[in-house]
Amino acid sequence: MNAQPDTNLPGELLDFFKALSDANRLKILGLLATQPQTVEQLAASLNLGASTVSHHLARLSEAGLVTARADGYYNVYSLQTEKLEEMSRRLLKRETLAKLAEDADVEAYDRKVIRDFISPDGRFKALPSQEKKFLVVLRYILNAFEPGRSYTEKEVNEIIKQYNDDFATIRRSFIEYRLMARENGIYHRI
């Protein structure tokens, strides 16, 4: 498995994990981590047929995790530890894994929550009791406030009332969840 551009990242990760997704292949890697071995040695150690071990070695070889060298009548297989370590470092980085979700709709949940709680007139029928959903509503209402602008408490209340009559709870929650700051009765978005 050669290094591919990020466009093939999902396929490369799938190939990597497929190669490692079998208990016998993991045992083979473990045995090869101790020393190079032939198919027959691996088959005896694992109590498997030589053809089964050959199949597993082929999968591991396709993934670039093992190599073979001829030694007389036998092929001696070795673990490519550098390749395994390089692939692990490169493919399993947080930033790399995050790229797998680039085309996911991360705002779909927020839209669903808003749709469930908002009435046709744009006001919230009720405030969600679940914190995660309540935070979605807070972020939605927060968009009515301009970044960098200061608001009096009265202005904050009037804007919130356009969305729900419980302006005191929402205003306090803005502060509690650090979405807004209050100093000397003046509010602003954080």
Pairing of strands 74-79, 37-38: antiparallel
Domain 6-99 has CATH 3.20.20.410: no
Domain boundaries, the chain: 6-99, 108-189
Task: For the chain, give the percent of residues with pLDDT over 70.
Answer: 96
pLDDT in tens, the chain (190 residues): 444 445 677 788 888 888 889 999 999 999 999 999 999 999 999 999 999 999 999 999 988 899 999 998 899 999 998 888 888 888 778 887 777 777 778 789 999 999 999 999 999 999 999 999 999 999 999 999 999 999 999 999 999 999 999 999 999 999 999 999 999 999 999 9
pTM for the model stands at: 0.56
167-176 vs 153-161: helix axis angle to the nearest 10? 120
pLDDT tens digits along 88-126 = 888 778 887 777 777 778 789 999 999 999 999 999 999
Q: Are 79 and 68 in contact (CB under 8 A)?
A: no
The CA-CA-CA angle for residues 162, 166, 171, to 5°, reads 85
